[in-house]
Structure 1
Amino acid sequence: MTAPGDNEIQEWIGTHTDITERKLAEDALQQAKAELEIKVQERTAELQKLNEELRNSNQELEQFAYVASHDLQEPLRAVTGYSQLLVEEYQERLDESAQEYLDYIIDGAKRMQQLIQDLLAYSRVGTRGRAFTSTDCNVVLSEVLSNLQMAIAESQAIITHDPLPNVLADKTQLVQLFQNLIGNAIKFRRKDVPPQIHISAVRQEKSMGVGEEDFTQHYVWLFSVQDNGIGIKSQYLERIFEIFRRLHTRREFPGTGIGLAICKKIVERHNGRIWAESQLRVGTTFYFTLHESVT
């Protein structure tokens, strides 16, 4: 027996690995990716369709705004104008019933004009809004109080406020928001005491939504408009922001029931939220949030 040479194979060494599971996992991953891509494409198509529908809706709102501001108001002006001429020129010939009927006509036409104007304002919140800029809420409030000076004087309202911040907003809509809320506080006052209204703002850190990741801090301002008015029953606190929602008759309080709906639409356009807390015969506090202006 001879010793094996240096070039002869003495021993085979090998391993065996079953890659079936890994191959199945890779195939499953590829299939999942393909399905995800299909879902993304489908969702993208849905969003494009929704955006197109939104654009069409905005165009329809613009058309409505044009009709409301021109075609609908013109005949109402004629009704109001000619009715007032009848009263002025033929007042001595009109008996008490005729005078009463004309008063109803004039009042109805004026209320319809106000309704059209409010609907027009509501429709334009999203379509005619201006770009957001750094806005001093103290300046906004000063303008609002100037606009409401007659109502403030007649009601002997006492209006106070804390120092207010700068926010990122459409100033024109911010004026409208504050004016509607303060005007409501004056309107829905108690008869036994003059209205007292206080406006304040508190800075809060913005909570991130589910799935949101951001390593920078964001802040919002929580505003409050507090009054000592007649208050609102708790079951109506959610419904008061619905368009045309009225809790009182026109004889008790005038208006079209659109003001708070406009407030809600303005706040939502600013990516905020609005709500109210109230107690009957104690008062109501409206809260809303706006984003801090970053300097």
Structure 2
Amino acid sequence: MTVTEASAPVSEAEVVRWAAGIEVFPGAPLCPGVADAGGGRPVLAEVPGPRFDARVRDGSVTAHHLRHLGQAMAALHSAKPPGEGTVIAESLPWEPLPLRVWAGLSDAQRHLIGTLHGDETLRNQGRSVRNGLAMGKVWCHGDARTNNIVVADDTPMLIDWECSGLGSPETDLGSLCGSLIFDCLNTMSAPTGADARTELRASLGRATGYVRVVLAAYRDHSHLRLDSSLLGRAVGSGLLCRALMRASQTRLDRVVSTLASLGRGLLLDSARWRAIDARN
């Protein structure tokens, strides 16, 4: 019997060089090139443009940007993987936290974690999504949030590839769609009442439009069939992560509670995703 040595995990610098060689269309690479790979994580070539989350907040996102992101995800997922390794998908800590971690959380974060951990059905769904996202065989970025996307010469590019690995395409699309929804909701400022309800509807409408453009472009350029249930639950999990992140910066407020409510609803009932992703 011949024993084959396991392949060494591919380094982040190797992944970035590989991704920089993938063109979404001629002249539009998936990510910036590596300027320096010595002494740890790779240093990427400087990109003068803003990050995508800033674009969402200031309203300068265009349909071209969104279509490009959908096409970029399709190009990434159709490329031959650069090596082995499992994607590190973003996920809430569904297991009990060590005391030292718990001690470092804000009161709002502790309240939210306690509420989520007290719901056994929700906790089991969260674990299921985390495991499902790691089951695929396409190379995923792993953390395709809008703050890991920069815009250079009107071309969005992905940065920060340390979580990348083999997984399901819903990993990246769930992270991207969830962060687009978060960015839109995170601009809400009206505290309560009719103005707050109007603002919420407008923010959700804007986010839904963004998500639909991204997913339509992805489907137009990808041969992969998406698992609508897994995608909806992945977005729900991402929104709960965003709620926890927001709760680290503020007391429990309307944005945190809205994110948590939407995330919980999608995680427990992925059919709700059909109201957003009309083409699933």
TM-score (norm 1): 0.26
Structure (1/2) with the larger strand percentage = 1
Structure with the bigger RCO (C-alpha within 8 Å, sep 6+) is 2
Max Rg structure = 1
TM-score (norm 2): 0.27
